[in-house]
Chain A
Amino acid sequence: MEEELRAIAEKLEALRRDLPDGGRHVDSIAEDMSAEVVDSNPYSRLMALQRMGIVQNYERIREFSVAIVGIGGVGSVAAEMLTRCGIGRLLLYDYDTVELANMNRSGMLISHHVRLSHFVGMTKTDAAVQTLSDINPDSYSLNITTVKGFETFMESLKRKSSLMPAHCSGVDLVLSCVDNYEARMVVNQACNELNQPWMESGVSEDAVSGHIQLLIPGETACFACAPPLVVASGVDERTLKREGVCAASLPTTMVSTFCCFTLAFVFIDNDIDLYYDFHVQKIFCFSFLKCRR
Protein backbone atom coordinates (compact mmCIF):
# COMPACT_ATOMS: atom_id res chain seq x y z
CA MET A 1 0.00 0.00 0.00
CA GLU A 2 2.73 2.41 1.05
CA GLU A 3 4.75 1.51 -2.03
CA GLU A 4 1.81 2.15 -4.28
CA LEU A 5 1.21 5.54 -2.72
CA ARG A 6 4.85 6.47 -3.15
CA ALA A 7 4.72 5.44 -6.80
CA ILE A 8 1.63 7.58 -7.35
CA ALA A 9 3.26 10.54 -5.59
CA GLU A 10 6.33 10.23 -7.81
CA LYS A 11 4.21 10.05 -10.93
CA LEU A 12 2.35 13.17 -9.79
CA GLU A 13 5.60 15.00 -9.18
CA ALA A 14 6.83 14.03 -12.69
CA LEU A 15 3.61 15.31 -14.23
CA ARG A 16 3.92 18.55 -12.28
CA ARG A 17 7.46 19.08 -13.61
CA ASP A 18 6.10 18.70 -17.14
CA LEU A 19 3.69 21.60 -16.67
CA PRO A 20 4.70 24.78 -18.54
CA ASP A 21 5.08 26.83 -15.33
CA GLY A 22 6.95 24.13 -13.48
CA GLY A 23 3.94 23.28 -11.38
CA ARG A 24 3.64 26.58 -9.56
CA HIS A 25 0.02 27.53 -9.10
CA VAL A 26 -0.53 30.61 -11.19
CA ASP A 27 -3.12 33.07 -10.07
CA SER A 28 -3.55 36.77 -9.58
CA ILE A 29 -2.31 36.53 -6.02
CA ALA A 30 1.10 35.40 -7.23
CA GLU A 31 1.55 38.47 -9.43
CA ASP A 32 3.42 41.46 -8.11
CA MET A 33 1.54 44.65 -7.47
CA SER A 34 3.54 47.23 -9.32
CA ALA A 35 3.77 50.59 -7.57
CA GLU A 36 4.56 52.38 -10.80
CA VAL A 37 2.01 55.12 -11.53
CA VAL A 38 1.47 54.55 -15.25
CA ASP A 39 -1.69 53.91 -17.24
CA SER A 40 -0.63 50.40 -18.12
CA ASN A 41 -0.44 49.32 -14.48
CA PRO A 42 -3.83 48.08 -13.26
CA TYR A 43 -2.87 48.84 -9.68
CA SER A 44 -1.40 52.29 -10.25
CA ARG A 45 -4.36 54.23 -8.81
CA LEU A 46 -4.51 51.98 -5.77
CA MET A 47 -0.80 52.07 -5.17
CA ALA A 48 -0.96 55.86 -5.40
CA LEU A 49 -2.69 55.73 -2.03
CA GLN A 50 0.55 54.46 -0.64
CA ARG A 51 2.57 57.25 -2.24
CA MET A 52 0.18 59.79 -0.74
CA GLY A 53 0.71 58.30 2.68
CA ILE A 54 -2.94 57.27 3.11
CA VAL A 55 -1.90 53.68 3.63
CA GLN A 56 1.45 52.29 4.68
CA ASN A 57 1.62 49.22 2.51
CA TYR A 58 -1.17 48.67 0.03
CA GLU A 59 0.10 45.23 -0.89
CA ARG A 60 -1.06 44.06 2.52
CA ILE A 61 -4.50 43.79 0.91
CA ARG A 62 -3.23 40.55 -0.65
CA GLU A 63 -3.01 39.06 2.82
CA PHE A 64 -6.55 40.02 3.76
CA SER A 65 -9.45 37.70 3.54
CA VAL A 66 -13.05 38.79 3.74
CA ALA A 67 -16.15 36.65 4.10
CA ILE A 68 -19.30 38.01 2.43
CA VAL A 69 -22.59 36.62 3.71
CA GLY A 70 -25.43 37.20 1.26
CA ILE A 71 -24.58 37.57 -2.46
CA GLY A 72 -27.44 39.88 -3.34
CA GLY A 73 -27.64 43.58 -4.16
CA VAL A 74 -24.99 44.57 -1.64
CA GLY A 75 -22.89 41.41 -1.39
CA SER A 76 -22.30 40.74 -5.08
CA VAL A 77 -21.20 44.30 -5.76
CA ALA A 78 -19.03 44.37 -2.64
CA ALA A 79 -17.37 41.15 -3.82
CA GLU A 80 -16.59 42.68 -7.19
CA MET A 81 -15.32 45.94 -5.71
CA LEU A 82 -13.04 44.16 -3.26
CA THR A 83 -11.75 42.00 -6.10
CA ARG A 84 -10.92 45.13 -8.06
CA CYS A 85 -9.07 46.41 -5.00
CA GLY A 86 -6.94 43.27 -5.04
CA ILE A 87 -8.29 41.55 -1.93
CA GLY A 88 -6.41 38.34 -1.13
CA ARG A 89 -9.22 35.95 -0.45
CA LEU A 90 -12.99 36.00 -0.54
CA LEU A 91 -15.47 33.61 1.01
CA LEU A 92 -19.01 33.86 -0.35
CA TYR A 93 -22.19 32.56 1.25
CA ASP A 94 -25.76 32.45 -0.08
CA TYR A 95 -28.51 29.87 -0.16
CA ASP A 96 -30.46 31.39 -3.02
CA THR A 97 -30.53 30.97 -6.79
CA VAL A 98 -30.35 33.71 -9.42
CA GLU A 99 -33.50 35.08 -11.00
CA LEU A 100 -34.02 37.88 -13.51
CA ALA A 101 -35.27 40.29 -10.85
CA ASN A 102 -31.72 40.30 -9.47
CA MET A 103 -30.40 41.94 -12.62
CA ASN A 104 -30.44 45.58 -11.54
CA ARG A 105 -28.44 44.84 -8.41
CA SER A 106 -26.09 42.03 -9.18
CA GLY A 107 -23.90 44.05 -11.48
CA MET A 108 -21.14 41.49 -11.33
CA LEU A 109 -23.42 38.85 -12.69
CA ILE A 110 -23.95 40.74 -15.92
CA SER A 111 -20.47 42.12 -16.40
CA HIS A 112 -18.02 40.61 -18.87
CA HIS A 113 -20.70 40.80 -21.57
CA VAL A 114 -22.45 37.75 -20.29
CA ARG A 115 -26.21 37.93 -20.36
CA LEU A 116 -27.78 37.32 -16.98
CA SER A 117 -30.05 34.69 -18.44
CA HIS A 118 -26.95 32.55 -18.62
CA PHE A 119 -26.90 32.59 -14.81
CA VAL A 120 -30.60 32.12 -14.12
CA GLY A 121 -31.15 29.11 -11.92
CA MET A 122 -27.51 28.92 -10.86
CA THR A 123 -26.86 29.31 -7.18
CA LYS A 124 -25.87 32.89 -6.45
CA THR A 125 -22.54 31.70 -5.09
CA ASP A 126 -21.76 29.79 -8.32
CA ALA A 127 -22.66 32.82 -10.43
CA ALA A 128 -20.45 35.00 -8.27
CA VAL A 129 -17.55 32.56 -8.45
CA GLN A 130 -17.81 32.42 -12.23
CA THR A 131 -17.59 36.18 -12.42
CA LEU A 132 -14.82 36.46 -9.85
CA SER A 133 -12.91 33.44 -11.07
CA ASP A 134 -9.68 35.42 -11.25
CA ILE A 135 -9.29 35.34 -7.51
CA ASN A 136 -10.90 31.97 -7.07
CA PRO A 137 -13.13 32.66 -4.05
CA ASP A 138 -14.33 29.91 -1.75
CA SER A 139 -18.07 29.70 -2.03
CA TYR A 140 -20.79 28.07 0.01
CA SER A 141 -24.35 27.62 -1.18
CA LEU A 142 -25.99 26.95 2.15
CA ASN A 143 -28.53 28.27 4.62
CA ILE A 144 -26.52 29.48 7.61
CA THR A 145 -29.58 29.69 9.88
CA THR A 146 -29.99 25.91 10.08
CA VAL A 147 -27.95 23.91 12.57
CA LYS A 148 -26.00 22.09 9.86
CA GLY A 149 -25.47 25.22 7.78
CA PHE A 150 -24.22 27.07 10.84
CA GLU A 151 -21.60 24.39 11.56
CA THR A 152 -20.29 24.59 7.99
CA PHE A 153 -20.29 28.39 8.24
CA MET A 154 -18.25 28.35 11.47
CA GLU A 155 -15.78 25.78 10.18
CA SER A 156 -15.21 27.64 6.94
CA LEU A 157 -14.55 30.91 8.78
CA LYS A 158 -11.93 29.20 10.94
CA ARG A 159 -10.16 27.46 8.08
CA LYS A 160 -6.85 28.82 6.91
CA SER A 161 -6.18 29.01 3.21
CA SER A 162 -3.10 27.42 1.74
CA LEU A 163 -2.53 30.57 -0.30
CA MET A 164 -2.33 32.82 2.74
CA PRO A 165 0.82 33.46 4.78
CA ALA A 166 1.08 31.33 7.89
CA HIS A 167 0.31 34.14 10.34
CA CYS A 168 -3.14 34.71 8.84
CA SER A 169 -5.87 32.68 10.42
CA GLY A 170 -9.43 32.39 9.22
CA VAL A 171 -10.77 35.67 7.87
CA ASP A 172 -10.03 39.26 8.80
CA LEU A 173 -13.52 40.60 8.42
CA VAL A 174 -17.03 39.32 7.84
CA LEU A 175 -19.42 41.49 5.83
CA SER A 176 -23.09 40.89 6.49
CA CYS A 177 -25.03 41.67 3.30
CA VAL A 178 -28.19 39.79 4.17
CA ASP A 179 -31.78 41.01 4.04
CA ASN A 180 -33.34 39.64 7.21
CA TYR A 181 -33.06 39.72 10.96
CA GLU A 182 -32.64 35.95 11.37
CA ALA A 183 -29.54 35.77 9.19
CA ARG A 184 -28.05 38.86 10.89
CA MET A 185 -28.51 37.19 14.26
CA VAL A 186 -26.74 34.10 12.94
CA VAL A 187 -23.78 36.14 11.69
CA ASN A 188 -23.74 37.83 15.09
CA GLN A 189 -23.73 34.49 16.88
CA ALA A 190 -20.91 33.05 14.77
CA CYS A 191 -18.76 36.18 15.09
CA ASN A 192 -19.27 36.33 18.86
CA GLU A 193 -18.16 32.74 19.20
CA LEU A 194 -15.13 33.27 16.95
CA ASN A 195 -14.21 36.67 18.39
CA GLN A 196 -14.47 37.89 14.81
CA PRO A 197 -14.93 41.56 13.83
CA TRP A 198 -17.74 42.08 11.33
CA MET A 199 -19.72 44.79 9.61
CA GLU A 200 -23.45 44.89 9.30
CA SER A 201 -25.14 46.63 6.37
CA GLY A 202 -28.72 47.50 5.62
CA VAL A 203 -30.55 49.37 2.92
CA SER A 204 -34.10 50.60 3.35
CA GLU A 205 -36.65 49.11 1.04
CA ASP A 206 -37.02 52.30 -0.99
CA ALA A 207 -33.22 52.44 -1.33
CA VAL A 208 -32.82 56.02 -0.13
CA SER A 209 -31.36 55.27 3.26
CA GLY A 210 -29.02 52.76 4.78
CA HIS A 211 -26.56 52.04 7.50
CA ILE A 212 -23.24 50.38 8.21
CA GLN A 213 -22.26 49.20 11.66
CA LEU A 214 -18.90 47.85 12.79
CA LEU A 215 -19.09 45.20 15.49
CA ILE A 216 -16.02 44.05 17.39
CA PRO A 217 -16.71 41.31 19.95
CA GLY A 218 -15.48 42.35 23.37
CA GLU A 219 -15.31 46.02 22.40
CA THR A 220 -18.71 47.02 21.11
CA ALA A 221 -22.17 45.85 22.04
CA CYS A 222 -23.16 42.92 19.87
CA PHE A 223 -25.91 43.09 17.24
CA ALA A 224 -28.48 41.46 19.49
CA CYS A 225 -28.05 44.24 22.07
CA ALA A 226 -27.52 47.15 19.70
CA PRO A 227 -29.28 46.59 16.38
CA PRO A 228 -28.85 49.54 14.00
CA LEU A 229 -32.27 51.07 14.51
CA VAL A 230 -31.62 51.41 18.20
CA VAL A 231 -28.20 52.87 17.62
CA ALA A 232 -29.57 55.31 15.06
CA SER A 233 -32.62 56.53 16.89
CA GLY A 234 -32.45 55.49 20.51
CA VAL A 235 -36.04 54.28 20.33
CA ASP A 236 -37.37 51.29 22.20
CA GLU A 237 -36.24 48.30 20.24
CA ARG A 238 -39.40 46.38 21.01
CA THR A 239 -41.54 48.84 19.09
CA LEU A 240 -39.65 48.15 15.88
CA LYS A 241 -40.26 45.82 13.05
CA ARG A 242 -37.05 43.98 12.56
CA GLU A 243 -36.93 42.67 9.06
CA GLY A 244 -35.10 44.59 6.38
CA VAL A 245 -36.10 43.42 2.96
CA CYS A 246 -34.73 45.26 0.02
CA ALA A 247 -37.37 45.63 -2.68
CA ALA A 248 -36.45 48.72 -4.64
CA SER A 249 -32.81 47.82 -4.33
CA LEU A 250 -30.52 50.40 -5.78
CA PRO A 251 -27.89 50.18 -3.11
CA THR A 252 -24.94 51.55 -5.03
CA THR A 253 -24.19 54.31 -2.53
CA MET A 254 -24.40 51.78 0.19
CA VAL A 255 -21.96 49.33 -1.35
CA SER A 256 -19.35 51.93 -2.25
CA THR A 257 -19.42 53.19 1.30
CA PHE A 258 -19.32 49.67 2.61
CA CYS A 259 -16.20 48.82 0.63
CA CYS A 260 -14.65 52.10 1.69
CA PHE A 261 -15.24 51.07 5.31
CA THR A 262 -13.77 47.65 4.64
CA LEU A 263 -10.60 49.21 3.27
CA ALA A 264 -10.52 51.60 6.21
CA PHE A 265 -10.78 48.63 8.53
CA VAL A 266 -7.90 46.95 6.75
CA PHE A 267 -5.58 49.93 6.44
CA ILE A 268 -6.39 52.75 8.77
CA ASP A 269 -4.84 52.12 12.12
CA ASN A 270 -6.42 54.91 14.11
CA ASP A 271 -9.98 56.26 14.25
CA ILE A 272 -12.67 54.54 12.26
CA ASP A 273 -16.41 55.00 12.46
CA LEU A 274 -18.42 52.43 14.33
CA TYR A 275 -21.73 53.46 12.88
CA TYR A 276 -22.69 55.22 9.68
CA ASP A 277 -26.15 56.15 8.54
CA PHE A 278 -27.18 57.90 5.36
CA HIS A 279 -30.34 59.29 3.95
CA VAL A 280 -30.39 60.43 0.36
CA GLN A 281 -33.68 62.30 0.12
CA LYS A 282 -32.96 64.44 3.15
CA ILE A 283 -29.38 65.00 1.97
CA PHE A 284 -28.23 63.84 5.30
CA CYS A 285 -25.83 61.35 6.69
CA PHE A 286 -24.16 60.90 9.99
CA SER A 287 -21.56 58.74 11.53
CA PHE A 288 -20.48 58.58 15.11
CA LEU A 289 -18.90 56.56 17.87
CA LYS A 290 -15.30 56.81 16.77
CA CYS A 291 -13.35 53.72 17.60
CA ARG A 292 -9.61 53.83 18.16
CA ARG A 293 -8.21 50.64 16.80
Chain B
Amino acid sequence: MEGWDSSTKSALTQIPLLATRAGPRDGAAWTQRLKEEYRALIAYSGMNKANDNDWFRISAANPQGTRWTGRCWYVHNLRRYEFDVQFDIPVTYPATAPEIELPQLDGKTQKAGHPDLPLRRDLELRIITVIMYRGGKICLTVHFKPLWAKNCPRFGIAHALCLGLAPWLAAEVPILVDSGMVKHKDDEASSAET
Protein backbone atom coordinates (compact mmCIF):
# COMPACT_ATOMS: atom_id res chain seq x y z
CA MET B 1 0.00 0.00 0.00
CA GLU B 2 2.95 2.34 -0.49
CA GLY B 3 2.09 5.51 -2.30
CA TRP B 4 -1.54 5.55 -1.19
CA ASP B 5 -2.92 8.60 0.62
CA SER B 6 -3.66 8.31 4.33
CA SER B 7 -7.44 8.77 4.03
CA THR B 8 -7.76 5.88 1.55
CA LYS B 9 -5.56 3.75 3.78
CA SER B 10 -7.63 4.52 6.86
CA ALA B 11 -10.91 3.92 5.00
CA LEU B 12 -9.59 0.61 3.76
CA THR B 13 -8.74 -0.63 7.24
CA GLN B 14 -12.30 0.08 8.36
CA ILE B 15 -14.15 -1.72 5.54
CA PRO B 16 -15.08 -5.18 6.82
CA LEU B 17 -13.21 -7.94 4.97
CA LEU B 18 -15.14 -10.71 3.25
CA ALA B 19 -14.64 -14.39 4.03
CA THR B 20 -16.61 -16.48 1.54
CA ARG B 21 -14.82 -17.42 -1.66
CA ALA B 22 -17.85 -17.75 -3.91
CA GLY B 23 -18.95 -16.56 -7.34
CA PRO B 24 -22.36 -16.19 -8.95
CA ARG B 25 -22.52 -19.88 -9.91
CA ASP B 26 -22.02 -21.13 -6.36
CA GLY B 27 -25.62 -21.15 -5.13
CA ALA B 28 -26.00 -20.72 -1.37
CA ALA B 29 -22.37 -19.74 -0.94
CA TRP B 30 -22.96 -16.85 -3.37
CA THR B 31 -25.95 -15.70 -1.32
CA GLN B 32 -23.65 -15.67 1.72
CA ARG B 33 -21.02 -13.76 -0.26
CA LEU B 34 -23.68 -11.22 -1.32
CA LYS B 35 -24.59 -10.65 2.32
CA GLU B 36 -20.94 -9.97 3.09
CA GLU B 37 -20.75 -7.64 0.07
CA TYR B 38 -23.69 -5.61 1.36
CA ARG B 39 -22.28 -5.54 4.89
CA ALA B 40 -19.00 -4.12 3.59
CA LEU B 41 -20.76 -1.64 1.28
CA ILE B 42 -23.03 -0.36 4.05
CA ALA B 43 -20.06 0.07 6.41
CA TYR B 44 -18.03 1.90 3.76
CA SER B 45 -20.93 4.10 2.70
CA GLY B 46 -21.74 4.97 6.34
CA MET B 47 -18.13 5.82 6.97
CA ASN B 48 -18.05 8.13 3.94
CA LYS B 49 -21.17 9.94 5.08
CA ALA B 50 -19.78 10.35 8.63
CA ASN B 51 -16.61 11.88 7.15
CA ASP B 52 -18.57 14.15 4.80
CA ASN B 53 -17.15 12.25 1.87
CA ASP B 54 -20.25 10.57 0.44
CA TRP B 55 -19.43 9.86 -3.20
CA PHE B 56 -21.48 6.96 -4.59
CA ARG B 57 -24.72 5.01 -4.61
CA ILE B 58 -24.71 1.43 -5.82
CA SER B 59 -27.04 -1.57 -5.66
CA ALA B 60 -27.64 -4.88 -7.38
CA ALA B 61 -29.69 -4.44 -10.55
CA ASN B 62 -30.95 -8.04 -10.68
CA PRO B 63 -32.08 -10.54 -8.02
CA GLN B 64 -29.03 -12.76 -8.60
CA GLY B 65 -26.74 -9.86 -7.71
CA THR B 66 -24.65 -10.34 -10.85
CA ARG B 67 -25.16 -6.84 -12.27
CA TRP B 68 -24.66 -3.65 -10.29
CA THR B 69 -25.63 -0.11 -11.19
CA GLY B 70 -25.55 3.26 -9.48
CA ARG B 71 -24.10 6.76 -9.51
CA CYS B 72 -20.79 8.24 -8.45
CA TRP B 73 -19.57 11.80 -8.28
CA TYR B 74 -16.39 13.80 -7.87
CA VAL B 75 -15.90 17.45 -6.96
CA HIS B 76 -13.35 19.38 -9.01
CA ASN B 77 -12.86 23.15 -8.71
CA LEU B 78 -15.95 23.33 -6.47
CA ARG B 79 -18.15 21.73 -9.11
CA ARG B 80 -19.71 18.32 -8.86
CA TYR B 81 -19.30 15.91 -11.79
CA GLU B 82 -21.66 12.97 -11.65
CA PHE B 83 -21.57 9.71 -13.63
CA ASP B 84 -23.54 6.49 -13.97
CA VAL B 85 -21.53 3.50 -12.82
CA GLN B 86 -22.15 -0.14 -13.75
CA PHE B 87 -20.44 -3.51 -13.80
CA ASP B 88 -21.12 -7.24 -14.06
CA ILE B 89 -19.82 -9.72 -11.54
CA PRO B 90 -17.51 -11.89 -13.65
CA VAL B 91 -18.18 -15.62 -13.71
CA THR B 92 -14.71 -16.18 -12.25
CA TYR B 93 -15.34 -13.76 -9.35
CA PRO B 94 -13.73 -13.27 -6.89
CA ALA B 95 -10.57 -14.55 -8.59
CA THR B 96 -11.02 -11.70 -11.06
CA ALA B 97 -12.28 -8.25 -10.10
CA PRO B 98 -15.35 -6.57 -11.60
CA GLU B 99 -14.60 -4.35 -14.59
CA ILE B 100 -16.08 -1.03 -13.57
CA GLU B 101 -17.68 1.07 -16.34
CA LEU B 102 -18.78 4.69 -16.54
CA PRO B 103 -20.93 4.41 -19.69
CA GLN B 104 -21.19 8.18 -20.22
CA LEU B 105 -17.42 8.24 -20.73
CA ASP B 106 -17.51 5.76 -23.62
CA GLY B 107 -14.44 6.36 -25.79
CA LYS B 108 -12.85 8.72 -23.26
CA THR B 109 -11.27 6.29 -20.82
CA GLN B 110 -7.66 5.52 -21.54
CA LYS B 111 -6.09 2.08 -21.43
CA ALA B 112 -2.70 2.11 -19.80
CA GLY B 113 -0.03 0.09 -21.54
CA HIS B 114 1.21 -3.04 -19.86
CA PRO B 115 3.88 -5.35 -21.18
CA ASP B 116 2.66 -8.90 -21.10
CA LEU B 117 6.01 -10.42 -20.30
CA PRO B 118 8.52 -9.57 -17.58
CA LEU B 119 11.27 -10.04 -20.13
CA ARG B 120 10.29 -6.69 -21.56
CA ARG B 121 10.78 -4.80 -18.36
CA ASP B 122 14.46 -4.14 -18.94
CA LEU B 123 13.78 -2.35 -22.21
CA GLU B 124 12.35 1.11 -22.24
CA LEU B 125 8.85 1.00 -23.50
CA ARG B 126 7.29 3.92 -25.29
CA ILE B 127 3.60 3.93 -25.92
CA ILE B 128 2.98 5.61 -29.24
CA THR B 129 -0.70 4.97 -29.58
CA VAL B 130 -3.28 5.86 -27.00
CA ILE B 131 -5.82 3.09 -26.76
CA MET B 132 -9.26 3.74 -25.33
CA TYR B 133 -11.49 1.27 -23.60
CA ARG B 134 -14.93 0.55 -25.03
CA GLY B 135 -18.05 1.33 -23.05
CA GLY B 136 -16.33 3.59 -20.53
CA LYS B 137 -14.42 0.83 -18.76
CA ILE B 138 -11.89 2.35 -16.40
CA CYS B 139 -8.29 1.22 -16.23
CA LEU B 140 -7.67 -0.69 -13.00
CA THR B 141 -4.63 -2.66 -14.04
CA VAL B 142 -1.80 -0.79 -12.40
CA HIS B 143 -3.22 0.65 -9.21
CA PHE B 144 -5.87 -1.87 -8.30
CA LYS B 145 -5.66 -5.36 -9.80
CA PRO B 146 -2.43 -6.45 -8.08
CA LEU B 147 -4.03 -5.51 -4.73
CA TRP B 148 -7.19 -7.39 -5.63
CA ALA B 149 -5.19 -10.49 -6.60
CA LYS B 150 -3.23 -10.41 -3.35
CA ASN B 151 -6.34 -10.00 -1.22
CA CYS B 152 -8.67 -12.51 -2.85
CA PRO B 153 -11.26 -13.40 -1.49
CA ARG B 154 -11.14 -10.81 1.32
CA PHE B 155 -11.78 -7.83 -0.96
CA GLY B 156 -15.24 -7.19 -2.39
CA ILE B 157 -17.21 -4.54 -4.25
CA ALA B 158 -16.68 -1.94 -1.51
CA HIS B 159 -12.92 -2.41 -1.81
CA ALA B 160 -13.15 -2.17 -5.59
CA LEU B 161 -14.90 1.19 -5.24
CA CYS B 162 -12.50 2.45 -2.56
CA LEU B 163 -9.25 1.32 -4.23
CA GLY B 164 -10.33 1.13 -7.86
CA LEU B 165 -12.94 3.74 -8.75
CA ALA B 166 -12.22 6.47 -6.16
CA PRO B 167 -8.53 6.92 -7.08
CA TRP B 168 -9.45 6.72 -10.77
CA LEU B 169 -11.95 9.57 -10.39
CA ALA B 170 -9.42 11.63 -8.44
CA ALA B 171 -6.75 11.14 -11.09
CA GLU B 172 -8.81 11.26 -14.27
CA VAL B 173 -11.75 13.63 -13.74
CA PRO B 174 -9.54 16.75 -13.45
CA ILE B 175 -7.75 15.77 -16.68
CA LEU B 176 -11.01 15.03 -18.51
CA VAL B 177 -12.51 18.33 -17.35
CA ASP B 178 -9.43 20.47 -18.03
CA SER B 179 -9.03 19.00 -21.50
CA GLY B 180 -12.70 19.67 -22.29
CA MET B 181 -13.54 15.98 -22.78
CA VAL B 182 -16.02 16.19 -19.91
CA LYS B 183 -18.28 19.20 -19.46
CA HIS B 184 -20.19 20.17 -16.35
CA LYS B 185 -23.91 19.60 -16.83
CA ASP B 186 -24.65 23.33 -16.32
CA ASP B 187 -22.24 24.25 -19.13
CA GLU B 188 -23.72 21.61 -21.39
CA ALA B 189 -27.21 23.04 -20.86
CA SER B 190 -26.11 26.61 -21.63
CA SER B 191 -24.16 25.58 -24.74
CA ALA B 192 -27.24 23.76 -25.99
CA GLU B 193 -29.32 26.93 -25.57
CA THR B 194 -26.95 29.15 -27.57
Task: Give the interface of A toward B (CB within 8 A).
Answer: 96, 143-147, 149-150, 181-182, 185-186, 188-189, 202-206, 208-211, 224, 228-229, 232-233, 235, 238-248, 277, 279, 281-282
Per the 8 Å Cβ criterion, residues 116-145 of B in contact with A are 116-120, 123, 125, 127-129, 131, 134, 141-142, 145
Q: Which of A96, A146, A203, A281 contacts B88 (CB 8 A)?
A: A146
The A-B contact count (CB < 8 A) is 119
- Which stretch (B3-11, B69-77, B107-115, B184-192) binds chain A? B107-115
Listed A/B pairs (14) with beta-carbon separation below 8 Å: A145-B99, A147-B25, A150-B25, A185-B92, A185-B96, A186-B91, A186-B96, A189-B91, A204-B115, A233-B119, A238-B146, A239-B146, A242-B146, A247-B111
Tell me if B66 is interfacial: C-beta within 8 Å of chain A.
yes
**Best-surrounded residue of B90, B99, B128, B146 (most CB of chain A within 10 A):** B90
Asked if A238 and B149 make an inter-chain contact with CB atoms under 8 angstroms apart, the answer reads yes
Once the chains bind, are B118 and A235 in contact (CB under 8 Å)? yes
Check if A146 sits within 8 Å of B66, measured CB to CB: yes
Partner among B25, B66, B113, B150 whose Cβ is within 8 Å of the Cβ of A205 = B113
- Write out the residue numbers on chain B whose beta carbons fall within 8 Å of the beta carbon of A209: 116-117, 119-120
Task: Give CA–CA (A144, B117) in the complex, Å.
Answer: 24
Contact with B120, one of A181, A204, A224, A228 (Cβ below 8 angstroms): A204
Whether the Cβ atoms of B118 and A233 lie closer than 8 Å is yes
Whether the pair B117, A224 counts as a contact (CB closer than 8 A) is no
> Which of A143, A146, A203, A232 lies in contact with B119, CB distance below 8 A?
A232
Taking CB atoms, residues of chain A closer than 8 Å to B25 are 147, 150
CB B29 to nearest CB in A, in angstroms, measures 15
Where the two chains meet, the residues of B that have a C-beta atom closer than 8 Å to any C-beta of A are: 24-25, 64, 66, 88-92, 95-97, 99, 111, 113-120, 123, 125, 127-129, 131, 134, 141-142, 145-146, 149-150
* Residue contact B146 to A241, C-beta cutoff 8 Å: yes
Q: In the complex, what distance in Å separates the CA atom of A188 from the CA atom of B115?
A: 21
Q: Which residues from A are CB-within-8-Å of B142?
A: 241
Q: In the complex, how many angstroms separate the beta carbon of A190 from the nearest chain B beta carbon?
A: 9
Of B91, B95, B111, B149, which is within 8 A of A146 by CB? B91
CB distance from B118 to the nearest CB of A (A): 5
Complex CA–CA separation, A204 to B115 (angstroms): 5
The contact of A202 among B66, B116, B125, B131, by CB within 8 Å, is B116
B178 to chain A, nearest CB (A): 25
| Cross-interface CB contact of B141 among A147, A235, A243, A282, cutoff 8 Å | A243
